Chains A and B, each alone.
Chain A
Amino acid sequence: MNAHDLLWGMTPAHLPADAPAWVLEAIGAGHPVVVRRAIAEPGHVAVGVRGRLREQRFAAQMPLPAVQRRVAPEALRGVISPRDLPALRTLDQLRAVLAQESWGVTGSAGFELATGIEALHAQSDLDLILRTPLRLERGDAQDLLAILDTAECAVDLQLQTPFGAVALREWANGSRRVLLKTVSGAHLVVDPWQAVA
């Protein structure tokens, strides 16, 4: 199970007593939860619950035996939506660009493609993840970013290294230290393809 995977099977009984009403509503309606990059208790996975509003994000833990279905971001890149929105048109354009890569759709677009629940709007970014087990050189990152920046909507592409995730934009922009998001939190690192000391 990896960060950004969508999981079905959580029930209101798995939520803490202080969970807000909108969380109970989303889980009660059978919406999937999103795997978070965080350490969970044994036998659990750290997840996030999405609400309708942008500030409605709730961190929880899901017992592993409760997982009934898992959809990884990779499984969503071929899904065709009946809706016509900038983020979805951008996804259409980028399929050819990323055809040789191991990549997937996350964020609102991933959630909508996986569930059919309308999570995207006209101003939504397109969130993507690119698996980069091997180092992506900064020059190659700049080339890819230049292509993404010609797209109709803003594209937020995260590079998943063996140790965490780093934004393509930051890696390409040449900052000496970059933000690596790992299961143990965020770290500023010089090389995202090296274990955090």
Chain B
Amino acid sequence: METLSFEFPAGQPPKGRALVGCVGSGDLEVLLEPGTAGVLTIQVQTSVNGAEQRWQHLFERIFQEQTPPALNIDIHDFGATPGVVRLRLEQGFEEIGHD
């Protein structure tokens, strides 16, 4: 078990919070809460050790497409593939946008 921290430039904080995903092999649980304007923080707790670079690169690719809202994101990872991580984050952003 490993805990990783990341920080990215962001826009304004949203109003709502969201919890998406699922505890179970190959999946992850993502909690998104409003953060400080301009900053996106991500904490990843993962069962797969030694993958810090992979997470960093994956987040960079996701956030370069669009500036994310200012959030504190908590991720509990159970060995999800990059494709699943991307889907869950998109789902989380969508749910926050709906409030």
A contact set with B: CB distance below 8 Å = 54-55, 57, 107, 125, 127, 154, 156, 158, 167, 169-170, 173, 175, 177, 179, 181, 185-188
Query: What separation, in Å, do the CA atoms of A177 and B22 have in the docked complex?
Result: 12
Which single residue of chain A is at the shortest CB-CB distance from B48?
A55
The residue that B79 contacts in the complex, of A54, A169, A185, with Cβ under 8 A, is A54
B contact set with A: CB distance below 8 Å = 20-27, 47-51, 79, 81, 83-84, 87-88, 90-91
Distance between A114 CB and nearest chain B CB, rounded to angstroms: 17
From A57, A125, A179, residue with most partner B Cβ within 10 Å? A179
Distance between A53 CB and nearest chain B CB, rounded to angstroms: 8
Q: Is the CB of B23 within 8 A of A169?
A: yes
* 16 A–B pairs (Cβ distance < 8 Å), ordered by A: A55-B48, A125-B24, A127-B25, A154-B23, A156-B25, A167-B24, A167-B27, A169-B22, A169-B24, A170-B21, A175-B20, A177-B91, A179-B87, A185-B83, A186-B87, A187-B87
Q: Is the CB of B84 within 8 A of A179?
A: yes
- B-side contacts of A154, CB under 8 Å: 23
Other A-B contacts than A169-B23, A170-B27, 6 sampled, CB-CB below 8 A, are: A127-B25, A156-B23, A167-B27, A170-B21, A181-B26, A188-B87
Distance between B46 CB and nearest chain A CB, rounded to angstroms: 9
Q: Is the CB of A107 within 8 A of B25?
A: yes
Which single residue of chain B is at the shortest CB-CB distance from A106?
B25
- B-side contacts of A156, CB under 8 Å: 23-25
